[in-house]
Chain A
Amino acid sequence: MSHIQRFPSAAKAALTNPLKMSQPLGAALAYLGVDRCLPLFHGSQGCTAFGLVLLVRHFREAIPLQTTAMDQVSTILGGYDNLEQAIRTIVERNRPAMIGVATTGVTETKGEDMGGQYTLFRQRNPDIADTALVFANTPDFAGGFEDGFAAAVTAMVERLVEPSPVRIPTQVNVLAGCHLSPGDVEELRDIIEGFGLSPIFLPDLSLSMAGRQPSDFTATSLGGVTVEQIRAMGASAATIVVGEHMRVAGNALELKTDVPSHFFSRLTGLEATDKLVRLAMELSGKPAPARLRRQREALVDAMLDGHFFYSRKRIAVALEPDLLYAVTGFLADMGAEVVAAVSPTQSPVLERLKAATIMVGDHSDLETLARDADLIVSNSHGRQGAARIGVPLHRMGLPMFDRLGAGLRVQVGYRGTRELLCDIGNLFLAREMEHEHGHEAEESHGCGGGSCGCNAV
């Protein structure tokens, strides 16, 4: 771990206005991208309630999430009974295709042996052998959201994917990291299908968290990658791994199935998308479709039109590590200067960031580092600090509870990059127009049009 010690956490005992979210929450999100799945937290019921509310506020969707409801006694005596009862109850009531279990601080402090509990459960409950079960170790007191998401994806690969004697030349796996929104996944599907390839996304949030209209009420996820599809990933021609935190899952998949993997650190930006398109051309043996060519032209055009407003702009960014990497990379591509990059947790990807200051910290650190910045890029929790220092905020990541359509934003591919470029560029443009007309900051602090959440128009 010595290579990441360059970015120490702030030397303070009180984390203030946290940027970090917990591992189980990340695991829950990964499980929600599986069709007819019910994520289950092995812990106190409060762990589940908080996670649920956060995801509901972000996606504005019903979130299936259950709890083993550990109390003091079961915590001390061991949680197996609660786990077994919870799984049996869920199967009886909801008939899910899969139950994804994530441990929490409570069960990890006790040191529950999840591997042993899995085996024991299967032995004692042969009647529900057809329900897929995946267990991930996700202690609250280590790592964060991204690590939990990665742990759940790795656990699904290890538990469900099977090696295959045949190869389906048009089938492609995509390990989609948590920095990809449901909208991003949909965009990637569009790009890949444009080459006549059939992608399997693990997880696939575009099918479950993108505003579905059910014909009946269901207590499990509605849509997503199916358990059968996950099992069939071993027959794919290639695996596209998106994001540093998907690397471990990618390696596990390759080790298990011999499907060659191709790693992408990000898919936001012209060159990053070019790399993906080149791979899709190779895998399919087909030329890029006309639509994609037009999208590339439009992005190049937007870069030409927009670069004026980006050059030397000072920007502070606080996001989960892989999204932080994608966004700071894109901003540097546009000629902006990243004055501060704040990550909630350590990650090898921090090593490759280009920023004046890189640190593991919280929103209060961001507030300090962003005082002279032209823009802050962070989640909705950044709005209080942004308002205090009078810097406009562009919202990205999770949670984004004060914007509609948070889940369907697109920021990958040519089209997504152009959208992001225009969204951020418009904040700069609005500010310049304001200054030209000589009535800057009339309302109070010149946040550039209420973007920080204030009432300025």
Chain B
Amino acid sequence: MLQDKIQDVFNEPGCATNQTKSAKEKKKGCTKSLKPGAAAGGCAYDGAMIVLQPIADAAHLVHGPIACLGNSWDNRGSRSSGSQLYRTGFTTDLSELDVIGGGEKKLYRAIKEIVQQYDPPAVFVYQTCVPAMTGDDIAAVCKFASEKLGKPVIPVDAPGFVGSKNLGNKLAGEALLDHVIGTVEPDYTTPTDVCIIGEYNLAGELWLVKPLLDEIGIRLLSCISGDGRYQEVAQAHRARVTMMVCSQALVNVGRKMEERYGIPYFEGSFYGVSDMSDTLRTMARMLVERGADKGLIDRAEGVIAREESRVWRRLEPYKPRFDGKRVLLFTGGVKSWSMVSALEGAGLTILGTSTKKSTREDKERIRKMKGEEFHQWDDLKPRDIYKMLADNQADIMMSGGRSQFISLKAKVPWLDINQERHHAYAGYDGIVNLCEEIDKTLSNPIWRQVRRPAPWESGPSSTLLAAE
């Protein structure tokens, strides 16, 4: 069952990388095989959680030993405007006895307790490695619990060892397609209903975008899954157009929604001025093509014109401050090309970007934008990055939290642009936030101080610095 799903996901025709592969390559899947002793990154379960946990009013129950939830709960920055139930960590905390005797009964009891105590609209149940090995059939338990308790109980079959975070994203998408999307009809529909896939409202980013959609007259029917509600996700099939934010992660959902419900999809980004405008423009155009009022395009253009002129005006003060400042960019997938254009618009120089998680299409896009000279690193070792920074080859590094110490220990400014960040960078206001954060850290007075030698250090480098 799970193997079929995984093969299905690997055969994804909507995926650009996949289309260029031979049948044999396809079967191998989209994840590079992991090298023991030199691997980093999350597992499939982690990826599934990233996609589904932002559904805020649902309960998320992890079926596994303590490591899977106990070490990881309460560590994501996805925000909700209402229910906070998604922030409560539930796990069956499997013990030795459950490993020996099976954990299915305990799982059912746990679901029942949660339904009785919290009455959520749905419970998501996450499979993990240990019960997958001992053979706990979570799909059967979920089906039974659903019938018995009269609530949707959704099995998410993505145990960690089947693959990477990215595969987990897709398997979570499959769970939504199989059990959630299309199960609820909206009270009413409009010709401008859209569904956004792959936006998780980190640091409240969706809230920088949604007011613009409202103003243009586009209704956000469903977001998968930032600031999400179960009902909204379940009625996603009535959207007129789907936007995919992080193309790699959930391409299967967008394509299958097109296949099943005839909803066209496009790939867009909320990062950077021109990408943001393109996204609004495409969304409006596609809605009109599907029968929405033609005025939508004019309204979108009006908003774009106003916001663009406003944002360029607000970015102006940063340009002289950013002149000559060099950025090292370490992030995956869609963010790499999206961020490049955003940062250059503000006057920064981008030295290069990592493309470890990017698709061929992503890479081609950067190549077109920046030319052959531009560095695209596929697999740069932390030591090499440290060396580049310590040798003063860059003025700031932007990356995810895990690599921050490479930069900080080299005493070079660093900015968090991944999921744990505290500031929202999406939309027009977001790009101004981003520039403000870059400026704040670049101009902080600590850099000069922390690079000074200690009183007991001497030698040529210290006299040089002392002369400053």
Contact = CB atoms under 8 A, between A and B. Distances in A.
Interface of A: 12-18, 20-22, 24-25, 40, 43-54, 56-57, 61-62, 66-72, 75-76, 82-83, 85-90, 93, 104-106, 109-110, 139-142, 144, 213-214, 216-217, 219, 364, 380-381, 384, 401
Nearest to B59: A14
Interface in B83-139: 87-96, 98-99, 106-107, 109-114, 129-130, 133-134
A48 B42 CA distance: 8
Interface string B369-412: 00000000000001101110000000000000110011001100
A15 B91 contact: yes
Contact of A89 (B38, B46, B382): B38
Contacts of A16: 88-90
Nearest to A45: B39
B38 A93 contact: yes
Contacts of A105: 64-65, 67, 94, 129-130
Given A61-B405, A105-B129, A141-B95, A18 B114 contact: no
Given A66-B38, A83-B36, A57 B75 contact: yes
B30 to A, nearest CB: 14
A21 B36 contact: no
A15 B36 contact: no
Most buried by A among B34, B43, B72, B88: B43
Given A45-B42, A142-B95, A213-B409, A25 B71 contact: yes
Contacts of B437: none
A26 to B, nearest CB: 11
Interface SS of B by simple majority: helix
A82 B34 CA distance: 10
A67 B36 contact: yes
Contacts of B88: 16-17, 364
Given A45-B43, A85-B35, 8 more contacts: A14-B91, A51-B71, A62-B405, A66-B37, A69-B34, A87-B37, A106-B160, A141-B96
B109 A13 contact: yes
Interface of B: 33-46, 61, 64-75, 87-96, 98-99, 106-107, 109-114, 129-130, 133-134, 160-164, 382-383, 385-387, 401-402, 405-406, 409-410
A18 B69 contact: yes
A69 B382 CA distance: 19
Most buried by B among A12, A44, A139, A217: A44
B377 to A, nearest CB: 16
Contacts of B68: 46, 50, 140
Given A49-B41, A53-B72, A140-B66, A106 B129 contact: yes
Nearest to A43: B129
A53 B110 contact: no
Given A44-B161, A140-B66, A54 B75 contact: yes
A50 B43 CA distance: 9
Contact of B39 (A61, A66, A139, A214): A66
B383 A217 contact: yes
A51 B95 CA distance: 19
8 contacts: A13-B107, A40-B37, A49-B42, A51-B67, A53-B72, A71-B33, A141-B130, A219-B383
Nearest to A87: B37
Contacts, number: 210
B161 A24 contact: no
Contacts of B409: 62, 213-214, 217
Given A15-B90, A46-B43, A86 B37 contact: yes
Contact of B70 (A20, A44, A48, A109): A20
A384 B386 contact: no
Given A50-B71, A86-B36, A13 B405 contact: no
Contacts of A40: 37
B37 A89 contact: yes
A46 B160 contact: yes
A25 B35 contact: no
A6 B442 CA distance: 57
B96 A142 contact: yes
B200 to A, nearest CB: 17
A217 B387 contact: yes
Contacts of B96: 139, 141-142
A72 B161 contact: yes
B39 A109 contact: no
Q: Which of B74, B94, B109, B401 has the most CB of A within 10 A?
A: B74
B75 to A, nearest CB: 6
A216 B39 contact: no
Contacts of A384: 74, 87
A138 B74 CA distance: 24
Contacts of A49: 40-43, 46
Contacts of B401: 53, 56-57
A75 B42 contact: no
Given A62-B406, A217-B387, A17 B134 contact: no
A47 B161 CA distance: 10
Nearest to A71: B161
A141 B91 CA distance: 12
Q: Which of B133, B164, B409 has the most CB of A within 10 A?
A: B409
A18 B37 contact: no
A85 B74 CA distance: 34
**Of residues B38, B46, B91, B402, which shows the largest number of chain A Cβ atoms within 10 Å of its Cβ?**
B38
Contacts of A214: 409
B66 A46 contact: no
Given A13-B110, A15-B91, A49-B42, A140 B130 contact: yes
B149 to A, nearest CB: 14
A44 B409 CA distance: 29
Nearest to B111: A14
B113 A12 contact: yes
B402 A56 contact: yes
A22 B65 contact: yes
Contacts of B39: 45, 48, 66-67, 69
